[in-house]
Structure 1
Amino acid sequence: MRILVTGTAGFIGFHVARRLLREGHEVTGIDGVTPYYDVMLKRARHARLREYAGFTCNEFMLEDAQALHDAFEQCRPEGVIHLAAQAGVRYGMENPGSYVSANLVGTYNVLEQARRCATPHLMIASTSSVYGANAVIPFAEDQRCDHPLSLYAATKKATEDLAHSYAHLWNLPITAFRFFTVYGPWGRPDMALFKFTANTLEGRPIDVYNNGDMERDFTYIDDIVEAIHRLATRPAPASGESDRGASPVAPYRVVNIGNGEPVSLMAFIQAIETALGRKCVCNYLPMQPGDVPRTWADCTALQDLTGFRPTTSVQAGVDAFVAWYRDYYGVPADA
């Protein structure tokens, strides 16, 4: 198949594109390669994808409507996986405009091209952050998401609403994934696992927010990719779907993709210590604006739709990340 993937120089987009290429699909990748974090890491991901004959690389921002139009014209995709976004919770207080531009304008442009080309199935990335101040756990797709706590969450919820309206008005099949704390090899340097590993190997303390009293539903990257792969063949029907997360008036659904098991931040740090063979020095800090104390995915809908449920343990996932980190940065095993 011909598949267009946005965010291919990013963490999740890279892994999704590589899985598709390994299966023989033609992938048109798009990424703005922004300097939000290490551009060299992003270019290294793209370099790995360029090793596959079926990969076409495009580097531009999704806000460039003409460039996106041209990419769709050249690809004529049979499926679109929209993973590009301005990520990060705390960065929204430093550069709020980047979220409005990338997440709202960029997603609108993708929706417009998918509508114009009558894309058979558009899949877009959302986040567990949309659950915001919800106190009922685990988080389920049919819960209301009216109280986002960060600009990132607010723009992601807005993209879900935009997508639903497009699905309804133009009968465009759309699936939105709500990702829960994705981690693994080739991960993002702004996330805890990367920072904790780097700091500990370099003998520096790690910042632990809310004095460590937090829980996250850590989800390994391979499980995320497998879930997306299976959902790709399960677009929502035109209307009247009864499963949770599906719209009653449009070919649209939202699906949680998480491990389904919250892990305390201190247990996560212990897994890092085990993988590194050394202790982390913790600098305890208060809760940061936009953060939530706990996330926990109800993955019943994912399992009902696909027969799949993520199962990778935190220790196995952290071990895999640390092995990649040592290899990528040339850190000896005894260092």
Structure 2
Amino acid sequence: MKVLVTGAAGFIGMHVSQILLGRGDEVVGLDNLNDYYDPQLKRDRLARLTGRPGFSFVQLSVEDRAGMERLFAEQKFDRVVHLAAQAGVRYSLQNPHAYIDSNIVGFMNILEGCRHHGVQHLAYASSSSVYGGNVRMPFSEHHGVDHPVSLYAATKKANELMAHTYSHLYRLPTTGLRFFTVYGPWGRPDMALFLFTKAILEGRPIDVFNHGQMIRDFTYIDDIAEGVVRVLDRPATADEGYDAMTADPARSDAPYRVFNIGNHDPVKLMDFIHAIEQAVGREAQKNFLPLQDGDVPATHADVEELAAWTGFKPAMPVPQGVANFVAWYRDYFKV
């Protein structure tokens, strides 16, 4: 297949692209290489793809309407993996317009490109943050997601609604993936694992929010990438059992699906920190702080729908995944 992977220089995008290339697909990677975090890390990820047979790179922002229209018209993609977005819950508190530009306008451009150029399937990144104020665990696709607590979460919910509209109106198969706290080698510098590892190795204290009373369904990057590709390979179809009278959020009479992709094994934040300490070989100095605006105290993914659809369940144990990251970090930064 010829696949467009947006955000190809990103954490998840690089790993997904590697799998697609490894099995012989043609990948057009798109990224704007912005400075939300150090662009050098993005360039180094990109270097792992550049030169491989079947890979080409386009530096472009998804919110560039004219540029995206040209790209779809020229390339004639079979399928699209849309991972480019303005990420981060906390960043959205100070920079809201960045989320509208990238996550709303950009997603609109992706949908229009798919609609007008015969794309067979759009798989796109949603987020566990859409569950927002919902405290019913584990989070299920059958639950409502109507109470976002950050603008980032609201844009991801909007993406799901926009995708459903295009699936309904134009029969475009779309599948959203609600990622749960992705971690692992080549991860983002604004994520807890990266921040904690860096601080511990440098002998600085780490900021532990909600006084350590956090629970996260940490999901290893290889599991995430495998899940994305398996979903891409099975385009969404209309659910013949859909009942408009009950309107189950996980079902539709349009070719639309949304799945949780998490480890289904939530870990206490203090246990996660302990795993980092074990891997690094020293204890962290901890600065306990209140829960930050936009954060939720716990996440836990029900992944039965994903397993039923693809036969896949994430499985990497957190201690091993953390150790893999720390080994990569030491090698990459030579520390």
| TM-score, normalised relative to structure 2 | 0.96
1:57 alignment partner, SS class: strand
Give the stretch that moved more between structures: 65-74 or 84-93: 65-74
- What is the aligned-residue identity percentage? 56
1:88-108 deviations in Å (ceiling 9; x for gaps) = 001011110000000000000
Whichever residue aligns with residue 172 of structure 1, its letter is: L
Q: Provide the rounded CA distance (Å) in 2 between the counterparts of 1:203 and 1:65.
A: 46
Q: Provide the rounded CA distance (Å) in 2 between the counterparts of 1:82 and 1:53.
A: 21
Q: Does 1:194 align with 2:194?
A: yes
Whichever residue aligns with residue 307 of structure 2, its letter is: Q
Question: Runs of 5+ in structure 2 lacking a partner?
Answer: none
1:139-175 deviations in Å (ceiling 9; x for gaps) = 0001111100001000110011001000000000000
Whichever residue aligns with residue 62 of structure 1, its letter is: V
Q: Considering only aligned residues, what root-mean-square deviation do their CA atoms show, in Å? A: 1.3
Question: What residue number does 1:311 align with?
Answer: 315
Match among 292, 298, 304 for residue 294 of structure 1 = 298
1:178-189 equivalence runs, <5 A: 178-189=178-189
Question: What residue number does 1:56 align with?
Answer: 56
Whichever residue aligns with residue 332 of structure 2, its letter is: Y
Structure 1 residue ranges, 4+ long, deviating more than 6 angstroms after superposition: none
Question: What residue number does 1:236 align with?
Answer: 236
1:85-100 equivalence runs, <5 A: 85-100=85-100
Match among 250, 256, 270 for residue 254 of structure 2 = 250
Match among 275, 279, 282 for residue 275 of structure 1 = 279
Question: What residue number does 2:213 align with?
Answer: 213
Aligned length: 331
1:31-87 deviations in Å (ceiling 9; x for gaps) = 111111111101111111103121111111111112112222232111100000000
Q: CA deviation at 1:248?
A: 2.4
Kept after mapping to 1: 8 A contact 2:143/2:249: no
Kept after mapping to 2: 8 A contact 1:227/1:308: yes
| TM-score, normalised relative to structure 1 | 0.96
Q: CA deviation at 1:241?
A: 4.9
Q: Does 1:8 align with 2:12?
A: no
Question: What residue number does 2:143 align with?
Answer: 143
Kept after mapping to 1: 8 A contact 2:78/2:118: no
Question: What residue number does 1:132 align with?
Answer: 132
Kept after mapping to 2: 8 A contact 1:246/1:254: yes
Kept after mapping to 1: 8 A contact 2:8/2:30: yes
Q: Provide the rounded CA distance (Å) in 2 between the counterparts of 1:242 and 1:302.
A: 18
Structure 2 vs 1, CA of residues 211 and 147 (structure 1 numbering), >3 Å: closer, same or farther?
Answer: same
Kept after mapping to 2: 8 A contact 1:240/1:247: no
Q: Provide the rounded CA distance (Å) in 2 between the counterparts of 1:97 and 1:201.
A: 35
Structure 2 vs 1, CA of residues 117 and 297 (structure 1 numbering), >3 Å: closer, same or farther?
Answer: same
Question: Runs of 5+ in structure 1 lacking a partner?
Answer: none
Question: What residue number does 2:326 align with?
Answer: 322
